[in-house]
Each structure stands twice: as structure tokens, then as C-alpha cells.
Amino acid sequence: MISCTRCKTPLNTQALNTFALAPCPSCNEPIRADVYAALFRKLPSGHSGTPLQGEQEASCFYHPAKKAAVACSACGRFLCALCDVDLNDRHLCPACLEKGKTKRRIKNLENHRVCYDTVALSIAFISSLFVWPTILSAPIVLYMVIRYWKAPGSIIPRSKIRFVLAFLIAGLQIVGWILVFGGLMTS
Amino acid sequence: MGQYTLWRGRDHLLQIHARWGSEDYKRYYFNDIQAIITRKTDVGKIQNFVTGALAGLFSLFAATSTSGWATFNFIIAISILSILIINIIKGPTCETHLLTAVQTEKLHSLNRIQTTQAVMNQLKPIIERFQGHLAPETYVQHRAELSGTKKKRPQTRLTPSAATVRKHESGRVHLLLFALLSFNGLIVAVGFVLTHVGLTFLGGAVMLMMGICVVVALVKQHESTLQHPLRSMTWAALAYVCFSFICSYIISIGLAFKNPDIVHNQWEMIKLISNTTPWDNGLMMTLNVIALSAAVGIGMPGLWLLRNFRRTHRPLERVMAGPDSVATPKRTT
């Protein structure tokens, strides 16, 4: 049942898939609801795996009493219907799924990334506003640029412009400090 | 905090929440999306009102202050005005939710009607390519089946629908609040031509009553049948009351600092406050203009909306409260 997101009143059939804003029957808020066939699709029930019928049959690696239904696409272990995880037309065992997530082998399971290019540029930029912190931040930024140059950045492909800018700003800050200290030494 | 963006993948939508150099990802597969719902909100209007008021305020300050401050206030006013213009160009705001079988997620990046409608129009054929087209009659049929199965379930008194949970509210406190607001506007208007201790006392009493009324009204309107614009007006009244209290406090402190010899004499302080007029300086004029505009802009429309609301709900209220309908029920069979 599709409801108004404000007053939680179920919407009329006429209010759905209108491609335009229509008032909610209860709170009168203009609302547009696009409904798709998945709303009426029954959720697939989970498989439990079939028990072994004879000794000739291959068994699941994780459940020796269950019949193997498929082999893991990553490690090749036999899996019963219960252990089989279908992901993007690949059959994976729970261990490979976990490994793929932690080691970032399966891109679709990744849910967090640190973008070191943004961090480096932010540190370089913010510290330059206060001048004095740059004496510490500039070497840190340079280290970050070199250390994480090849590290995966955002999941959305983008250029290395942030790293380049951070490197330039930090380089200029270091040159500035060298000039300041050089001037002080000579005077 | 942070920035939300929405990206279209081969078989899914990707929502990225970026903050402080880290990114969190959420994927919604086209095959799993059950519905996308967008609802127009008043956030944009409130933003326009606030930025407009601030721009006006700083323009007034710029007009009344001396050269250095005038330039500063003018720059601030121009900056706020540009924000207002951008906000107007971006159009009305909305809230968008995406439904799957296991979650209802807010799509934070789809917060403007124009963009959201364009995105929804773009996504519709893509999602239908994955799920197939849903004919309107199919939906009606499914809904009928669903309601049919629901009817078979035994009805219990503990499962009322969301719509019936809302309590009926007559709006008496709201009436008092908006009437007080309008009356306060009248007092402020009189203050432009007349200063008197009695007027100050009356203004203070009205403000105090407004403070009480607005809290009671907010409590009463919660989960009630009151219409959305009326509720918004009550929230605006709360903002105005808070603003007035803060301004009164600042003015009192300012007067106390200017006249330290009469700080301990309350009567002298009240007389001093009552002697201040909007014509004394630019700040007083600005505050009085804001007070007058807010009182008239919230009080009068509030009364009008309440009148309409009470008109439409009165017949139902009478039938429900009438002794005949309860005491002598008519047999229909």
C-alpha cells in the first residue's frame, strides 16, 4: 500500500502514476507517486537445501548432509541451495562474499570509501586560511599525496586534479616557509 | 551534514553521501524499486521568507547607518539577496522517498520539484525495462485483492488506520493566538504615534499570553485534523514570539547599559521603555516594522484560514456532538 509520506494516509488509485503532482486526499499536500511492478511481486522464499540421497552425490562444503547445488564462482567450493548467494549472476559462498566485501573485490558490495584527494585538498586549503598551521599541514599534505596517489578514490571515476592542487598548494606553502626562515637567518 | 548525490548505474541507482573526505554508498537496484514518491514541501517558501526578511533588514540597516557600516550592511544585503534569487530560480522544494520491499529511503539529493520530476521521468522507462510495465488496471486489481484479503481478517479495536488516529481539533486556542497576534500588530502600530506606560503594559501582557497560547496551540495541533497551512502559521507564530522576546530582552539590556542609574528601579525602567519610539533610531524602526509585518502577516491570514477551517468542519462537529444522534439512534432496517 502506497501512503502519503507526510500523513501516512493510503493514496487513491487515481493518485498513482499520474506523472504530475496531485493533492493527498487527507493532508492536501501535492504528491506524485510512481509505482512499479515490483510492488506486487512476491518475495522469493529462502531455500533450505535438499538432504543427500546417496553416497554418490556431492555434498555442500559447509553442510555435509546437504546436496550440492552449485559451485562457488570464486573459490569453486560446492554449495547447497542455502549457502548459494546469487550476486550479479554469480554464485558465491558466504566466505567469498565476506572476503569480496572486506578486500573490495566485489565493487557492488562496497559501501564506504575514504577519498584521500579531497582530504588532502581540504587540509591544504583550510590551513592556508590561518597561515600558521601550514608549517605542520604542508608536509602532511605532501605525504598524503605521495602515499595515496594510487589508492582508490571516489567510486565515481574522477581525475587526480585534487591531488595535483593539494600538492601545488602544499609545495607553495613549504617554499614560502623556506623563504621566511631564509630571510630570518640572513637578517 | 555532507552532500548527497544520486548516480545512475547499469542496473542500479547509487546514492553517495560525501562528508569530510569520506563517502558512504547505498545502491537501489532497478529490479527492486517498488515506488518513488515525491511530496512538495514548504521549505523553499520558508527559506525565501527568511532570506527576504534578512535582506530587507540589512537593506534598512544600510539605509539608516553611517558610511562604513552602510557599505558593510549593503554587501551583506546583496549577498543574502543573491541567495534568495538563486533559491527562487531553483524552484519549489520537495521530499523524495524510494520504496523497496525491505526499506523506505529518503533521496536527499532530489529536493527540488523540477529536478525530481525530470529524474522520475527519466527513471520510469529504465525501471520498467527491468520490471515490465504496470498497467493501471493491474494496480486496481491487486489493490482490490489486497482489500479483499484484509476484509477477511477479524477486525479488532486496537488496529485503527493511520487516518482515524488523528484527533479532532476545534482550533479555539489557535483563534485566540491569531487574534492576539493581530491585536499586537495594532498595539505596535499605535506605538508609532503614541507612547504611554499603559500601552507598554498592554503590549507585555499580550506578548505573555501569546507565548502561552502558542505553546498550547502547538501541543493541541499535534496529530490533529488541523490543516497544514494553519499548522505552519502556528510555527511561524512561535518564531515571531521567540524573536520578540529576544528583541525585548536585547533592548532592555541596551537601555540598562545606557542608564545604569535607574537599573534597580523597575518603575523607572518601564517608563523609560515606554518612552522609546520607533523614530528614535534605525534599529528600533526596523524591529517595529518587522513586528508589525509579522503580526499582520501571521495573525490576519491565520484568522482567515481558521475561519475557513471552522466553516468546513462545523457541520460534522455538530452532528458528532449533538445529543440527538447519541441519545435517540434511528433504526435503519
Residues B116 and B243 in one domain: no
Query: Residue A20: closest CA among chain B residues belongs to which residue?
Result: B117
Cα separation, B65 vs B47, in Å, equals 26
Query: Residue A9: closest CA among chain B residues belongs to which residue?
Result: B163
Identify the domain boundary among B72, B101, B132.
B132
User: How much is the pLDDT for B329?
Assistant: 36
Residues B86 and B102 in one domain: no
Residues A126 and A175 in one domain: yes
Q: How far is the alpha carbon of A169 from chain B, nearest alpha carbon, in Å?
A: 18
User: Residue B255: pLDDT band by 50, 70, 90 thresholds?
Assistant: confident
pTM over 0.80, yes/no: no
User: Residue B82: pLDDT band by 50, 70, 90 thresholds?
Assistant: very high
Alpha-helical (H) ranges within B192-333 are 197-221, 228-258, 266-275, 282-294, 300-321, 323-327
Distance of CA B32 to the CA centre of its chain: 34
- Our count of domains for chain A comes to 3
Give tens-digit pLDDT for B7-31: 998 889 999 999 888 999 999 999 9
B145 within domain boundaries: no
* Contact (CB, 8 A) for A67 and A51: yes
Binary contact (A36, B128; C-beta < 8 A): yes
- Given a cut of 90, whether residue B48 has pLDDT beyond it is yes
Q: Which residue positions in chain A have pLDDT lower than 50? A: none
Looking at beta carbons, which residues of chain B come within 8 Å of A156? 7, 16
Query: Residue B104: closest CA among chain A residues belongs to which residue?
Result: A5
User: How much is the pLDDT for B143?
Assistant: 66
Binary contact (B35, A30; C-beta < 8 A): no
Q: How far is the alpha carbon of A78 from chain B, nearest alpha carbon, in Å?
A: 28
Q: How far is the alpha carbon of B32 from chain A, nearest alpha carbon, in Å?
A: 6
Give tens-digit pLDDT for B88-138: 999 999 999 999 988 899 999 999 999 999 999 999 999 999 888 887 777
Judged by phi (left if over 0) then psi (alpha if -120 to 50, else beta), residue A49 lies in left
Range of the domain at B275: 172-312
Complex confidence, ipTM: 0.81
Query: Residue A119: closest CA among chain B residues belongs to which residue?
Result: B21
The DSSP code sequence of chain A is --B-TTT-PBPPGGGBS-SS-EE-TTT--EEEEEE-GGGGSPPPPPP--PBP-STTS-B-SS-TTBBP-EE-TTT--EE-TTT-EEETTEEE-HHHHHHHHHTT-SGGG--EEE-HHHHHHHHHHHHHHHSTTHHHHHHHHHHHHHHTTTS---SS---SHHHHHHHHHHHHHHHHHHHHHHHHHH-
Binary contact (B139, A38; C-beta < 8 A): no
A11 within domain boundaries: yes
User: How much is the pLDDT for B146?
Assistant: 61
Binary contact (A4, B40; C-beta < 8 A): no
Range of the domain at A51: 45-109
B137 within domain boundaries: no
Binary contact (B39, A6; C-beta < 8 A): yes
Residues A34 and A54 in one domain: no
Query: Residue B36: closest CA among chain A residues belongs to which residue?
Result: A34
Residues B106 and B29 in one domain: yes
A151 within domain boundaries: yes
Cα separation, B266 vs B251, in Å, equals 15
CB neighbour burial string for A43-58, b if at least 16 within 10 angstroms, e if fewer: eeeeeebeebeeeeee
User: How much is the pLDDT for B325?
Assistant: 36
Identify the domain boundary among A109, A124, A150.
A109
B3 within domain boundaries: yes
Binary contact (A29, B39; C-beta < 8 A): yes
Identify the domain boundary among A91, A109, A127.
A109
Binary contact (A13, B136; C-beta < 8 A): yes
Give tens-digit pLDDT for B190-201: 888 888 888 888
Binary contact (A5, B95; C-beta < 8 A): yes
Task: Give the one of B20, B36, B228 whose C-beta lies nearest to A28's C-beta.
Answer: B228
Looking at beta carbons, which residues of chain A come within 8 Å of B138? 37, 40
Residues B190 and B104 in one domain: no
- Our count of domains for chain B comes to 3
Q: How far is the alpha carbon of A144 from chain B, nearest alpha carbon, in Å?
A: 13
Query: Residue B150: closest CA among chain A residues belongs to which residue?
Result: A1
Binary contact (A112, B23; C-beta < 8 A): yes
Binary contact (A118, B142; C-beta < 8 A): no
User: Residue B258: pLDDT band by 50, 70, 90 thresholds?
Assistant: confident
A187 within domain boundaries: no
Give tens-digit pLDDT for B134-156: 877 777 777 666 666 544 444 33
B209 within domain boundaries: yes
CA atoms within 13 A on the CB side of A19: 7
Give tens-digit pLDDT for B278-312: 777 767 777 787 777 777 778 888 888 888 777 76
Please enumerate in sequence order all residues whose Cβ is within 8 A of that of B218, keeping only pairs 6 or more positions apart, or say none: B234, B235, B238
B258 within domain boundaries: yes
